[in-house]
Structure 1
Amino acid sequence: MDTQITRFATEPPIARLKGKYAYSEKILDYLDKVLTDITENNIIFRLADAPQAQNPFQLPESDGDPFIKYKVNLFVNNENSKGAPAIIEPFTNYYNIFGKIEYKNQFMYTTTDFTMVKAGAIHQANGGYLVLQAKDVLFDPFMWDALKKVLKHQQALIENIGEQYRYVPTLTLKPETIPLNVKIILIGSPIFYKVLTYDEDFRKLFKVKVDFDISMERNEENIRKYVSFISSICEETGILHFDRTGLGKIIEYGSRLAGNQAKLSTQFNEITEIVHESSAIAKYEGATIVSDVHVQKALAERKYRANMIEEKFQEMLLKNKIMIDVEDSVIGQVNGLSVIQTEEYAFGHPTRITARTYIGSNGVTNIERETKMSGSSHSKGVLTLAGFLGWQFAQEKPLAVSAQLTFEQNYGGVDGDSASSAELYALLSSLADVPLKQNLAVTGSINQKGEIQPIGGATEKIESFFDLCGAKGLTGEQGVIIPEQNVDDLMLKEEIIEAVNAAKFHIYSVKTVAEGLELLTGLNCGKREQDGNFTQGSVFRKVQEKLDKYNKSIEAAQTAHDLLSNYSSDEYDSE
């Protein structure tokens, strides 16, 4: 009788569920078994409310809940999802990604059941996308191998870490594997991609590589997006909003980070930090909105926290411990510009470059290279300028010269070819005996045709020489010579722009060696005439005359040597 009553009461709701899930044979089979079990064990429903004596030393079966086997563990709920799931897991570890089986401590035992099987991010992303940080995947000792197995077999197995490392298997739950259809997206820097490529399975499993640019075009649409991004930060975090001037300064800072007037940086974490710092300064000063003044203060404070090394260099320059002239003219000496990159800050640094030439046939000697203090790019630049000299002045006669180039007071090495134009100017000055203006600093690489090529760090280089000239006193004659291609890269501070507009400081852009040399010497470089000589009185004519003089001296010495050799040979024969 009890069995019939139980079945009569249970069949209708079971039938409704079977109708709802008729598409799944596994659910239908499960519901049939539930109906059978309830019918056969109907006594538990009558005894459920009866009081039972508890033994404190006996572990209650299934936590004392006889109905736990009828519960449903809702593993993943996509009821409110629209479209394919896209999961971004910020806390990447084995259990958060692949799920786990939890246990309860009861007296001296641990227990578990199917309701304590928990889903991981990979199950939540099933049918969609899972975004992970490559760094976190690599640094977790169990993640990478488990992820490869999941992607290879397209199945997800829920298993605690310890299970695969036990010497003696233990009795525990063994959940059924779940069919998997998920796209994994790994985000990381190029170094982690390179590390992963050493695994032969990586390219098989991750076939698509996408590079994210660190800058974007500075157009109206992207500026609007930039402003919207800043506004969203203010809304989400409750900080002060920005007026037009404040937004303008943030956009300028974005272009400075991108290193180009026509670009905006996509390093949004840097932008976010400046937004928060500017708001904090405005709030401290009692302002209700952030303006350009507050942004400038935030940028100045940010620079101050990172520019200790730059200040030390500046101090040594002002005390003449690092010798740089910003006035007068000197033969064979020019002010070059380099960039020093620290962990969070880059700054320019003026440096003295000198050249000395004399009779000989050794060509151009790079002292840094000879002392193993020159990088490959710098050595290439010196060899390139030697090629220019040969092309320009040694078409009919050998280049009879020995020359030495060096970065004075350089003890840490030098690399890059951005000083090759400055080195060439110093070399030509020494050959022509024409002094170079020390109130100008130079940056730019060259090719063998004498064309000036663009370089990096133009903004930082200009600012470094301006700061030095400003500290020593602006004369209205000082300035910097840069490649023409770098003009649109300049994002200079307001102080320099004001000085340039007031003609207290100058920025010259050049295309060729000749243009730069004319600025530094105040003389015409000259052109080659029909007789093969350069224009009379020009810098190149003076170089040509010096090389001719060297050639004649070498020829005379060679003739004297030959005569002496012949005389010695004849005297030996007579004997």
Structure 2
Amino acid sequence: MAASDRLVPVERLCWVCDPAQFRFTSTEEFTNLEGSIGQERALAAIEFGLGMTNNGFNLYLAGEPGTGRSSTICSMLRRKAKEEPPPSDWCYVHNFDNPDSPIALPLPAGKGGELAADLRELLDYVRVNIPTALESKEYETNRVAIIETFQEKNGEMFADLEKEAGEQGFALQRTVSGLVIVPQKEGRNFTQEEYDSLEPEERERVDNLGRELTEKLNDVLRQVRENEKALRDALAQLDRELGLSAVGHHLNPLKEKYAGFQKVLAYLESVQEDLLLNLEDFKPQVPPPQIPGLKLPRQEPTFERYQVNVLVENDPDRGAPIVSETNPTYNNLFGRIENIMQVGGVATTNFTLIKPGALHRANGGYLIVDAREVLINPFAWESLKRAIRNSEIRIEDVLEQYRFMTVVSLKPEPVPLHAKIIMIGSYLIYYLLFYLEPEYRKFFKVKAEFDSNIKRTPQLVQDYALFVASHCRKEGLLHFDPSGVAAVLEHAARLVEDQERLSTQFMELSDLLREASFWATNGGAELVDRTWVKKALDEKTYRSNRLEERLQEFLADGTILCDTEGSVVGQINGLSVMTLADYTFGRPSRLTVRVTLGRAGMVNIEREVKLSGPIHDKGVLILTGYLGGKFAQDKPLSFSASICFEQSYEGIEGDSASSAELYGLLSALSGLPVRQGIAVTGSVNQHGQIQPIGGVNYKVEGFFAVCKAKGLTGDQGVMIPKINERNLMLSDEVVQAVQAGEFHIWSVETVDQGIEVLTGVPAGELQPDGSYPEGSVNFLVNERLKSMVERLRKLGKPDEKETAKGGGEGEAS
């Protein structure tokens, strides 16, 4: 088959989107795109994961950035959340029994703010009405009456005791140490001399009477203390009745309002009890005594304990919440307890300083987080697992375990967790978590995979047009005409290097829409057509291809050796791809092969100097398998060959040059020169089949640029694997050059087909007798290998003296 029969037809060099298939004149005629484009597998997984209510069926959205993972899940959640009931509000209130452990109160959506407003109104009411009631005449009258009653009782007891003591010759007197019973004589106290002069019997009688009266005094004092306690109880009861009358008719409606919420009712009862026990706090405070030159602050009682901290308040008309936390630190996820710095550097806190996290806001709904961000933030991943495992959100001071001293802080009651967690990340993070994190599979059971490219269908083409319309409308860009949309679709096919598939890298496509709109606006156009899309692509290339142009200059002026004309034995142009950040381009590399007598076999110079990777080394070793299977059935392979990429000073990886290396080796063995105007790419297996490679468009365009710089002759081109024909999405310039006969693209399936194109000599098929047709490439290679074996045998024979001594090695094989 002639080399011309291997030429790729012009129509196969690039898929061209026909603008006539679009039934619009401007994308402005379209409505917005609903849903995502072409991710049916991912959508089915998401629908399943969102529908599962069992614990652990959280989702991981895996895929490359820009494939629409975030926009797709947000769009689906917005539709689903509207149909779901709104979750409860959550409030933190003071725990009157244990102030260090605030109580979490659940309330229906929208009721949390109402409870806080009701408590504020109650506090405002009691702060006005309790002092008024305490200062009322009725209250003062009742208070005085109670006090007088108890004073009368105490007075009567002391009067009776004093009368009895007087009758016994004793008196009740008040001293520094308290009330005492002292003996009397003639209306005055006994002196010590008078007491000592008493007869023993009289002294004993006085002592006994004194002890009896002292015991009665103690009984009276004991009764007085009991009366004082009873007085306090009576006054407290009076205050309680006053407080109940002042706040009861305001609290009772609240109890009726929240009758269905037992936890709220228990809290209201605690509020009422605390109010009644602390009525003194509502009385006007007496200012502290002022010291000249020093103004002391007035200490006002605090009423923060009666406030309600509305942690999360949901709209009853908006369905389930959707929270996307872009910075999932521990505090942002689980909340925090803030502190207030006082004078002297003392930090204080209370339950009103408890702040919610993303999990609180998403509770009852959906939380979206970036997997990488969760993993790199300290404590976030472990705490998230714990929250899912225990189904609760606990606000803790995670740094407490690292302190030398324990700091007193709050321990809020945990909030039950009922939320669907959705992590978005790369495939790498997914596999790392799956294999290295034992509990990951327990908590994230659903994976949704977003493909970076999808098969092109007529419906998909129309969806892309809807995407363009939606994006232009959303960002206020110029709208596109059919030719502009067609150019965008062609670029989407080039991004994946496939004529039958389209890229889902919508981030990059969105940038193309913005840039094309910019250039069209600057050019005064009303719509973006194909011209402006091409200009945007050209301008983007120009901003990034400085190094490529510099390399092209080196190739054109001969600094980097690369022949594009003539034929040379054992020399061929291979093709490689270089990627520098966001820019990728192809460049030719001269590959040379030298064959000599020896038994070293294939020597890969790149491998010897450690400039090649394992895949490239594998490709070189495959060549030995091919040669052995084809030419070593009747003889051993005995030769040495060195293979080298000339002027290559960086690492080499990949097997796409293995076919070029084999062609160079066959040329060196056969002595047939290789056309230097043809560059080669493609990997090869041991059976001589040419296998597909990546970056075919960049490689073709890179060699075309060199040929153009040195002058197109009409005999130049690139030889690619047949399978890669569907991957061709070449630039307009290359396609036009091929169409004009100035450049060519050949595709081959086997090594034999390729060597015919490169040398113009038939490869030659194996004959029934095991030989190849005379004059063919394979014939010349086989004959060269035979002659090398014979030479080695002759050179390897020992002389007679060495044979006699037994020092010969025998005949080489």
Q: TM-score, normalised by structure 1?
A: 0.88
Look up the equivalent residue of 2:325 and give its one-letter code: E
Q: 2:646: which partner in 1?
A: 408
Q: 1:236: which partner in 2?
A: 474
> 1:325-362: per-residue Cα shift (whole Å, max 9, x none)?
11111111111101112222221110111112233332
8 Å Cα contact 2:680-2:718 kept in structure 1: yes
Q: Answer with 471-480 or 5-14: which moved more.
A: 5-14
Q: 1:57: which partner in 2?
A: 297
How far 1:283 sits from its partner (Å)? 1.9
1:11 maps to which of 252, 256, 264: 252
Distance 2:499 2:430 in 1: 31
Q: In the alignment, is residue 326 of structure 1 matched against residue 567 of structure 2?
A: no
Distance 2:358 2:431 in 1: 26
- Structure 1 gap ranges (5+): 571-575
1:98 maps to which of 316, 334, 338: 334
Q: Answer with 407-416 or 140-149: which moved more.
A: 140-149
Distance 2:299 2:360 in 1: 33
3-state DSSP of counterpart to 1:379:
helix
Q: In the alignment, is residue 490 of structure 1 matched against residue 728 of structure 2?
A: yes
Q: 1:361 to 1:91 in 2, by over 3 A?
A: closer
8 Å Cα contact 2:326-2:369 kept in structure 1: yes
Q: Answer with 133-142 or 430-439: which moved more.
A: 133-142
Q: 2:384: which partner in 1?
A: 147
Q: Answer with 317-326 or 182-191: which moved more.
A: 182-191
8 Å Cα contact 2:336-2:354 kept in structure 1: yes
3-state DSSP of counterpart to 2:248:
helix
Q: In the alignment, is residue 185 of structure 1 matched against residue 185 of structure 2?
A: no
Distance 1:126 1:478 in 2: 66
Look up the equivalent residue of 1:120 and give its one-letter code: G
Look up the equivalent residue of 1:17 and give its one-letter code: Y
Q: Answer with 373-382 or 159-168: which moved more.
A: 159-168
Distance 1:103 1:282 in 2: 55
* Mapping for residues 18-57 of structure 1, pairs under 5 Å: 18=259, 22=260, 24-34=261-271, 57=297
3-state DSSP of counterpart to 1:508:
strand
How far 1:259 sits from its partner (Å)? 2.3
Look up the equivalent residue of 1:215 and give its one-letter code: N
Distance 1:564 1:441 in 2: 54
Q: 1:291: which partner in 2?
A: 529
3-state DSSP of counterpart to 1:73:
strand
Look up the equivalent residue of 1:496 and give its one-letter code: V
Q: 1:51 to 1:567 in 2, by over 3 A?
A: closer
Distance 1:361 1:113 in 2: 85
Distance 2:632 2:591 in 1: 25
How far 1:394 sits from its partner (Å)? 1.0
- Structure 2 gap ranges (5+): 1-240, 289-294, 808-813
Q: Answer with 129-138 or 109-118: which moved more.
A: 109-118
Q: 1:67 to 1:434 in 2, by over 3 A?
A: closer
Q: 1:110 to 1:234 in 2, by over 3 A?
A: farther
8 Å Cα contact 1:6-1:42 kept in structure 2: no
Q: 1:506: which partner in 2?
A: 744
8 Å Cα contact 1:11-1:35 kept in structure 2: no
* Mapping for residues 308-319 of structure 1, pairs under 5 Å: 308-319=546-557
How far 1:176 sits from its partner (Å)? 0.8
* Mapping for residues 346-385 of structure 1, pairs under 5 Å: 346-385=584-623
How far 1:37 sits from its partner (Å)? 5.7
How far 1:307 sits from its partner (Å)? 1.8
Q: In the alignment, is residue 530 of structure 1 matched against residue 746 of structure 2?
A: no
8 Å Cα contact 2:307-2:352 kept in structure 1: no
Distance 1:219 1:51 in 2: 82
3-state DSSP of counterpart to 1:395:
coil
Q: 1:543: which partner in 2?
A: 781
Q: 1:551 to 1:61 in 2, by over 3 A?
A: same
How far 1:113 sits from its partner (Å)? 4.2
3-state DSSP of counterpart to 2:768:
coil
Q: 1:545 to 1:162 in 2, by over 3 A?
A: closer
8 Å Cα contact 2:311-2:355 kept in structure 1: no
> 1:550-571: per-residue Cα shift (whole Å, max 9, x none)?
2332333345x3556447779x
Look up the equivalent residue of 1:253 and give its one-letter code: H
Q: 1:296 to 1:179 in 2, by over 3 A?
A: same
How far 1:520 sits from its partner (Å)? 0.6
> 1:161-186: per-residue Cα shift (whole Å, max 9, x none)?
55555544444443211111333332
Q: 1:531 to 1:76 in 2, by over 3 A?
A: same
Q: 1:124: which partner in 2?
A: 361
8 Å Cα contact 1:34-1:70 kept in structure 2: no
How far 1:279 sits from its partner (Å)? 1.7
> 1:385-415: per-residue Cα shift (whole Å, max 9, x none)?
1111111111011123222211111121322
Q: 2:374: which partner in 1?
A: 137
Q: 1:240 to 1:44 in 2, by over 3 A?
A: farther
Q: 1:532 to 1:154 in 2, by over 3 A?
A: same
How far 1:268 sits from its partner (Å)? 2.0
> 1:4-51: per-residue Cα shift (whole Å, max 9, x none)?
464345423431331xxx2x4323323444555667778999x8xx99
2:316 maps to which of 79, 84, 87: 79
Greater relative CO (CA pairs within 8 A, separation 6+): 2
Distance 2:508 2:356 in 1: 35
Q: 1:227 to 1:39 in 2, by over 3 A?
A: farther
Q: Answer with 252-261 or 217-226: which moved more.
A: 217-226
* Mapping for residues 412-431 of structure 1, pairs under 5 Å: 412-431=650-669
8 Å Cα contact 1:6-1:39 kept in structure 2: no
3-state DSSP of counterpart to 2:312:
coil
How far 1:74 sits from its partner (Å)? 5.0
Q: Answer with 188-197 or 324-333: which moved more.
A: 188-197
3-state DSSP of counterpart to 2:258:
helix
Q: 2:38: which partner in 1?
A: none
Q: 1:356 to 1:163 in 2, by over 3 A?
A: closer
Which protein is bigger by CA-based radius of gyration? Answer: 2
Alignment coverage as a number of residue pairs:
558
Look up the equivalent residue of 1:372 and give its one-letter code: K
Look up the equivalent residue of 2:611 and give its one-letter code: M
How far 1:501 sits from its partner (Å)? 1.7
Look up the equivalent residue of 2:358 and give its one-letter code: A
* Mapping for residues 432-451 of structure 1, pairs under 5 Å: 432-451=670-689
Q: In the alignment, is residue 251 of structure 1 matched against residue 486 of structure 2?
A: no
Q: 2:210: which partner in 1?
A: none
How far 1:61 sits from its partner (Å)? 4.5
3-state DSSP of counterpart to 1:387:
helix
Q: In the alignment, is residue 553 of structure 1 matched against residue 791 of structure 2?
A: yes
Distance 2:554 2:666 in 1: 29
Distance 1:11 1:484 in 2: 87
Look up the equivalent residue of 1:304 and give its one-letter code: Y
RMSD across aligned C-alpha pairs, in angstroms?
2.9
3-state DSSP of counterpart to 2:502:
strand
Distance 1:219 1:60 in 2: 76
Q: 1:573: which partner in 2?
A: none
3-state DSSP of counterpart to 1:91:
coil
Look up the equivalent residue of 1:123 and give its one-letter code: H
Q: 1:467 to 1:32 in 2, by over 3 A?
A: same
Q: TM-score, normalised by structure 2?
A: 0.64
How far 1:150 sits from its partner (Å)? 1.9
Q: 1:52 to 1:333 in 2, by over 3 A?
A: farther
Q: In the alignment, is residue 156 of structure 1 matched against residue 397 of structure 2?
A: no
Distance 1:6 1:60 in 2: 21
Distance 1:461 1:58 in 2: 83
Q: 1:56 to 1:348 in 2, by over 3 A?
A: farther
